[in-house]
Structure 1
Amino acid sequence: MKELGEGGYGRVLLAKDKITGQRMALKTMDKNRTSQRSFLQEFCVSYFLSSHPNIIGCNGIAFTTIDYFVFAQELAPVGDLFSMITPYGIPEDSVKRCALQISNALEFISEKGLVHMDLKPENILVFDQDCHFIKITDFGLAKVRGTVITSRCGSKTYMAPELRDMTITDGLVVDGSLDVWAFGVTIYCLLLGEYPWQVAMPEDEGYRGFVDWQNNFHMDNPPEAWRKISTGIRRMFGVILAIDFSKRSKSTEILKYMNESWKEEIPDAITGQEDEDPIKSSSVQSEVTSISHLNTSQRSVTNKSLSYFLTTDTSVSQSEMTPLPQKDDMEESTDHIR
C-alpha cells in the first residue's frame, strides 16, 4: 500500500491481505546487503519470540523477490518510541509503563537463551499514544547467550562499556547484562528527552562524570545530568547501569521503584508552561494487562502497583510529539562468531 520507512537493510512496507483485509508490515531486506542466513536467522528469532505480548507479532509469512528477502510482521499504528520523545522526555507514568513492559519482554528473551543486542527507543514499537501497549522489534543482531563475539555491534550510545572495550583477541561472551545496560540508557532518554552520553568511553565527558560518580557514590551530589532524576531513582540507575557487568542487576530491578517519583519537579518558569507541565505524570486507568509472563520475583510486587501503570487501552491515535534531534548511530562492523 505504501512505504513506512527505510534503512540500511532495506524498507518497511504497509501491506494488506487481499482476502482477509488484515494490514501488516513487510520488512524487506536488500539481497545485496543481507545474506540468506542473516535473513533466516532474524525471521526465525522473531517468529520464535512473537508469542510474548510485548514482542512484535510475526505471523510466519516469508518469501523472496528478485532483489529482496521479505517477512511479515504485526503493524504498529503509532510508530516507534523514539518519535514520541519530546525535549522534556515523555510523561512519567508513560515511562513507567514502558519500563514494565520492556522489562517483562527482556526477561522472556533471556529465559529463551537469547540477547537482543540492539535495544533502543527506535526498536520499540508503540500501539497507543500513552504507551499502554508497546512491543520490542528488530532482532537482526540477536545472539544466543554464551556466543563469543570478536567485534562490536549495535548502537553506540546504548552500548555497554564492556562491549565498547572489547578486543578482537579476547572477544566477549554475550550475556543479558548487555540488554540491561541498553534498557537503563533507554529509560534515561524517555525520562529526560536527551542522552546521558554519546558513547560509554572515558573520552566522553558525560560518561566520565557518571563513572566518577559511581566510583565515589554520593546520592546528593550527582553530575548535573543526573540531578533531574529523583534521589531514590538514582540508586536504581546505579544498579542497572553498573559499570561492572557482574554487578549489574536484572531488568526486573525497576519493579522495586514503581511507587516512587522518578523525576525531580521542574519549575514552570524553566519549561515555559504555566498551566500544565509537559513532563508531569498523566492520569492512567487502573486495569492490568496480561502479566502471565512475570516470574515469581516480579509477582511479589503488589497488583495495585502494576495495575496503576498498565492498562488495556490500545487506541491508535498518532503522536505529534517532537523527537530528539537525531537518532543514534549504528556500529558498522560485522560480528565474527566462533
Structure 2
Amino acid sequence: MPDKPSVETKEEAGAAENGAEEDLGGLTPEELRQGQEAALALEGMMALSTQSLVQAEVEDLYQLERPLGQGRYGRVLLVTHRQKGTFLALKQLPKASTSLRSFLQEFCVGLWLGSHPGIVAAYGIGLESADSYSFLTEPVLHGDLISFIKPKVGLPPGAAPRVAAQLAGALEHLHGLGLVYRDLKPENVLVCDAACRRVKLADFGHTRPRGTLLRLAGPPLPYTAPELCAPPPLPAGLPIRPGLDAWALGVLLFCGLTGCFPWDRPLPDDPFYGDFLAWRAEPRAPLRPRPWLGLAPAADALLGGLLDPRPGDRRPVGSVTEYLGRPWRLREGGEEGEEGEEGEEGGGERGVEEGE
C-alpha cells in the first residue's frame, strides 16, 4: 500500500470561524475547546520529556535482536535489555530526517494514550544518541495487518469484524482525548497473534490535537478524505476532525473485505470514485460499482456511513459496533458470517499489495 501523502501542518490548534460551513469541516465551540486543551497538555508533556531524555547510544543499553519494521521516517527493532534480559520494541528515528519536536510529539502522544488494549503500550523511556532519537514500546511480533490481506480476497474469514471493532475502540479512545490519528492504514496496525485475532494501533507520528490546521501538500490517496482535496475553508488549512479517521477506517475495512482499494483517489475524475458517488445518489443494483460486488448489506451500510463524502454527515468510528454479528461478505449461494467461507474477490483492478 502507498505511504500517506506528505502534509504541511500549523502545529498550534487552529480555530474555525463561527460561520464555517459544516461540510467544510467547521468546528463547534466544544470541539475547539477540547482540541485546545489537548494541544496545551501535549505541549506540557513535551517540555518535561525534553529534560528527561537519556543520553546514551542504543547499543550500550540494549542488545539488537532483529528488525520488526521499516518506514520512511525510521525503523522498529526488537531489542533485549542488557541487564534485565527483557524483550522490548525500540523505535529509532534518525536525526538527519527528524526534528526533536517531531520526536517528542510522537513519544508523548504514545505516553498520553496510556493503557488501552487496542493501542501499542509505550514506555516512558526516551533516548538521544549522537545520530538518532529512540523510544521503547511493548513488542508486537506478528507483523502488520498488510501481510494478512490477500490481494483481491482480503482478510481471512471472520477477521474483518474483529479488526474493525478493535480499531474503532482504539480510535474512540484517542478521539476522546481530543486527538486525531490521521495515519490509519494496515501498515500501522500491528497483529498480536498468527490467527489475526488481536490487533493494536501503532505509530503516532501524524497524530495531532483536534482543530490543528492541515493543508494537503502531496497528491491524494484512497485514505485521504475528500474534504482535504478541496480548497481549505481557512487560508492556513482545514481544522482537522475525527471524521478524517472515520474515512480512513472505511477504506481500510473495504481493503480488508475485498483485497482492493475502493478507488485510487476520492475525486470525481477517478472512475471508481465517480461510480461510487453515482451509486450513492441512486443505489440500484445495476449501478453497483464492480469493487463492491461481494459485500453484504451490513457492509454496504457500515461503509456508506464511514465513507460519506460530506464530513458533517459522516458516521463516527464507533458506528462499527452497530454491525457486528451480521454478515459483511457474500458468497455464492448465501452470505458469509463471521466464521464463514471466503467471499468473492473484490472487483477493483488494483489489489492491495505490501509496499505499494
Alignment TM-score > 0.5, same fold: yes
2:314 to 248, 262, 275: 248
Question: Where in structure 2 are there 5+ consecutive unaligned residues?
Answer: 1-64, 334-339, 345-350
In proportion to residue count, which structure has more strand? Answer: 2
Q: Which digits, 9 at most, give the CA deviation of each residue in 1:111-155, with x for residues without a partner?
A: 000000000111000001222211001110111001122334798
Match of 1:142 among 207, 212, 215: 207
Amino acid in structure 2 at the alignment position of 1:15: V
Native 8 Å contact 1:56 1:137 kept in 2: yes
TM-score, normalised to structure 2, is 0.73
Paired residues, what number? 278
Letter in 1 for 2:69: G
Quote the residue 1:156 is aligned against. Answer: 221
After TM superposition, give the deviation of residue 231 of structure 1 in Å: 2.3
2:101 aligns to what? 37
Whether 1:8 aligns to 2:68 is no
Tell me, yes or no, if the aligned pair for 1:92 and 1:191 is still in contact at 8 Å: no
Q: For residue 17 of structure 1, report the CA deviation from its aligned partner.
A: 1.2
Provide structure 1 residue ranges, at least 5 long, that are not aligned to the other structure: 268-275, 281-322, 329-338
Q: Cα RMSD over matched residues?
A: 2.2
Structural mapping, 1:305-316, within 5 Å: none
Report SS of the residue matched to 1:261.
coil
1:40-189 correspondence runs (5 A): 40-87=104-151, 88-152=153-217, 156-167=221-232, 169=235, 171-189=237-255
Q: Determine the structure 1 residue equivalent to 2:264.
A: 198
* 2: CA distance, partners of 1:259 / 1:3: 37
Q: Which amino acid aligns with 1:205?
A: P
1:259-299: CA deviations, max 9, x gaps?
221001048xxxxxxxx95459xxxxxxxxxxxxxxxxxxx
User: 1:238 is paired with a residue of what secondary structure?
Assistant: helix
Q: Displacement, 1:12? A: 1.5
Aligned residue identity for 2:326:
E
In 2: Cα distance, 1:60 partner to 1:154 partner = 36
Aligned partners of 1:50 and 1:56 also within 8 Å: no
| TM norm structure 1 | 0.77
152-161 vs 45-54, which moves further: 152-161
CA distance in 1, matches of 2:115, 2:183: 20
Residue-by-residue CA offset, 1:19-47 (whole Å, 9 max, x unaligned):
33221111111111110000000000011
1:29 and 1:22 map into 2 onto residues whose CA distance is 22
Q: Is the 8 A contact 1:3 1:11 kept in 2?
A: yes
Name the residue aligned to 2:277: 211
- Comparing 171-180 with 161-170, greater Cα deviation is found at 161-170
User: Could you tell me how far apart the structure 2 residues matched to 1:266 and 1:327 are?
Assistant: 32
Q: 1:169-190: CA deviations, max 9, x gaps? A: 3610100000000000000111
Aligned equivalent of 1:325: 353
1:20–1:153 Cα change, 3 Å: farther
**Residues 81 and 125, structure 1, Cα contact 8 Å, conserved in 2:** yes
Asked if 2 retains the 8 angstrom alpha-carbon contact of 1:161 and 1:201, the reply is: yes
CA-CA distance at 1:253 after TM superposition? 1.2
Deviates more, 1:189-198 or 1:228-237: 228-237
Deviations 1:194-221 (A, max 9, x none): 1111111122111111111112233674
The more displaced of 153-162 and 233-242 is 153-162
Q: Percent identity?
A: 36
Give the 3-state SS of the residue equivalent to 2:295 in structure 1.
coil
Alpha-carbon distance in 1 for matches of 2:265, 2:230: 11
